[in-house]
Amino acid sequence: MALIVQKYGGTSVGTPERIGLVADKVAGWRKKGNDVVVVVSAMSGETDRLLSLADAVAGVPPPRELDVLLATGEQVTIALLSMALEMRGIPARSYTGSQVHIRTDSAHNKARIREIEDKRIHADLADGRVVVVAGFQGADEYGNITTLGRGGSDTTAVALAAALKADECQIYTDVDGVYTTDPRVVPEARRLDRITFEEMLEMASLGSRVLQIRSVSFAGRYNVPLRVLSTFEEGEGTLITYEDETMEQALISGIAFNRDEAKLTIMGVPDKPGVAHQLLGPIAEANIEVDMIIQNVAPDGATTDFTFTVHRNDYKKGLAILEKTARAMGAREVSGDDKIVKISLVGVGMRSHAGIASTMFEALAKEGVNIRMISTSEIKVSVVVDEKYLELGVRTLHDTFKLEQPEVI
Ligand code: ASP
Ligand code: MG
């Protein structure tokens, strides 16, 4: 008998029929003797509907009141699911976030969970009930309702699993797991049986399709085994967990990519202490996140070139800031490109294998894909290429590293 926290997303509880289906699933787990805590999202589209109501009434709504409004979406689904469970003869009880003391800070609309009091939930479980908790919400120390940011129900589930010391946290969604890459780009992409927390974080661009990435770091920190699986199809899904030393790791677990990249270059800046700060300081102050950074060696010993990447949405803003900095510093030229993408190979197996990067570069070269930037970490190699090469690049690499074949165990 295990203690399992299950989370069902908006599409899984999107209609009364689907809520019935979820109740059947939960009942199945319960009847096998497991203790089950369920976290639900609002019915699909509901949070957006509430946001547009707020927008229509207030334009820029007061954050506190917005949270009171948004939290209602999940209050609907906890009640409906609990009713459906009771109908099936499964004793159940619904709770809002504040009722089970999901205590957060006071940052409305993006609150962070501070602590959870598990007494009430444990008492219900001991009495044989399924506990149904509203995702995405909590209350601060003054009892104000807070919400955790879009997709926050995943974080609620992981936090509950950590607080209750659950055996597993299962995230039920409309896809059946995490894939080696996006199947829309590579139809042969394979569902992974397991992946490490670290890899999953590096594959955020792929992972964010299935779960809120913040919940993965949370799970990693508290060592909560996390499983992503489909509400609508049977299957084991993908287990996100710690690296298991007894198991031989696949060299590469997946290929992530990012379409919304842009790069900015400043040429001929004086090569002296403080330059990087002078260039990137104003960018950071404008709240623009910088990903890759490359500084060239100064061929003339006096000036150097700098290139860095930002989110495409920040391209114009970043360019304007850089142009201003360039004038102030007497740099030669500023240029940029917002038609670039990033492709990354991810795998913990890389740590113990040399030559992954060179195999990657060779494969791309054979296809005539020009690499514009490179960056590496212990478990990742990323390249920036022109947007038009995204599909070709990802397919080539998927093929080169034979990711369509099951991993070796
Ligand atoms: N209902 C919230 C949202 O749509 C939270 C969630 O679904 O996880 O973002
Ligand atoms: Mg969601």
Residue 65 Cα to ligand 2 middle (Å): 21
pTM of the model: 0.88
Query: Relative to the CA of 41, which ligand 1 atom is closest?
Result: 7
Tell the burial category of 388 from Cβ atoms under 10 Å away from its Cβ (0-12, 13-18, 19+).
Answer: exposed
> Ligand 1: does its nearest atom lie under 6 Å from the Cβ of 152?
yes
pLDDT value at residue 174: 87
Q: Identify the structural domains of the chain with CATH numbers, from first to last.
A: 3-174 (3.40.1160.10), 255-400 (3.30.2130.10)
DSSP codes joined into one string, 113-142: EEEE--HHHHHHHHTT-EEEEETTEEE-TT
Integer Cα distance of 163 and 121 in angstroms: 10
Mean pLDDT for all residues in the chain:
94
pLDDT digit string, tens, across residues 36-46: 999 999 999 99
Query: Relative to the CA of 10, which ligand 1 atom is closest?
Result: 7
> Which of 38, 69, 78, 150 has most ligand 1 atoms within 8 Å of its beta carbon, as the pocket-test mutant?
150
pLDDT value at residue 408: 56
Residue 214 Cα to ligand 2 middle (Å): 13
pLDDT value at residue 245: 67
For residue 232, give the nearest of 6, 5, 8, 4 by alpha carbon: 8
pLDDT value at residue 407: 62
Q: Is the per-residue pLDDT at 248 higher than 70? A: no
DSSP codes joined into one string, 136-171: TEEE-TT--EEE--TTTHHHHHHHHHHHHT-SEEEE
> Ligand 1: does its nearest atom lie under 6 Å from the Cβ of 77?
no
Task: Give me the torsion for CA of 42, 47, 48, 54, rounded to 10°.
Answer: 150
> Ligand 1: does its nearest atom lie under 6 Å from the Cβ of 10?
yes
pLDDT band at 223 (very low <50, low <70, confident <90, very high): very high
